[in-house]
Amino acid sequence: MTRDQPADPQRDSVAAPADLAGLIARVALRDARAFEALYRATSAHLLGIAWGVMQQRERAEDVLQEAFLNVWHSAGSYNAGLATPMTWLINIVRHKAIDRLRVGVALRQATVALEDGQAEALPDSAERQPEQLVHQAFVRARIDRCMDDLAAGQRQALALAYFRGLVHSEIAETLGAPLGTVKAWVRRGSDRLRECLQAAGLGGGAA
């Protein structure tokens, strides 16, 4: 365990599904005390989930806060027939964490595009011209739009592959998806991302 890694979430007690479902129902009615109880009952476990994606305590805590804000606003959409309370909460945390990784994907892909000839002979930082900064902002924005065009599974798999450097089996474990499905997401997502970047004149894009 690293210094920043939270304790094993499996060791933390989590309320029974029925109790959690009741708390979520009360949160949907804007019951602040129920929201606090839900947080106390699940936050340690969910922080471990966030850390598993982010690999850094502070960023995992930020993800957890965003996830619970989502819970407060969307508790009314919870459907016990589709998922257990904990599965629903874990999915929210995972999606928030992976969305955070997209920022890293954009920065990394922007760097690749620039190194592939979009900005040759870059001057020192202090001498960079406004036009160059505008161009870099355009590159990052275009990559974000290309990522948005991908299916959710493809986008999440690529974020884990490019930013975290995970292999297929690790991505499958993180997303809770079959290995074959993950391989297809990465392959098709990479192809679509490359095509989108090439159409925007940004070079090779995804590898």
* Calpha distance 60→66 (Å, rounded): 10
Residues 81, 144, single domain; the answer is: no
Residues 107, 195, single domain; the answer is: yes
Confidence band for 137, pLDDT divided at 50, 70 and 90: low
What mean pLDDT is reported for the chain? 76
pLDDT tens, 185-197? 888 888 888 888 7
Confidence band for 139, pLDDT divided at 50, 70 and 90: low
Residue 10 C-alpha from the chain's centroid: 22
Nearest to 156 by CA among 130, 174, 138: 174
Please indicate, yes or no, if residue 4 is contained in any of the structural domains: no
Domain boundary at 91, 123, 149, which?
91
Residues 125, 164, single domain; the answer is: yes
Domain that holds residue 138: 101-199
Residues 79, 16, single domain; the answer is: yes
| Count of domains observed in the chain | 2
Residues 112, 32, single domain; the answer is: no
Confidence band for 15, pLDDT divided at 50, 70 and 90: low
Residues 105, 194, single domain; the answer is: yes
Domain boundary at 46, 65, 91, which?
91
Please indicate, yes or no, if residue 139 is contained in any of the structural domains: yes
Burial class (CB in 10 A: 0-12, 13-18, 19+), 126: exposed
Say whether pLDDT at 11 is over 70.
Answer: no
What is the value of pTM for the model shown?
Answer: 0.55
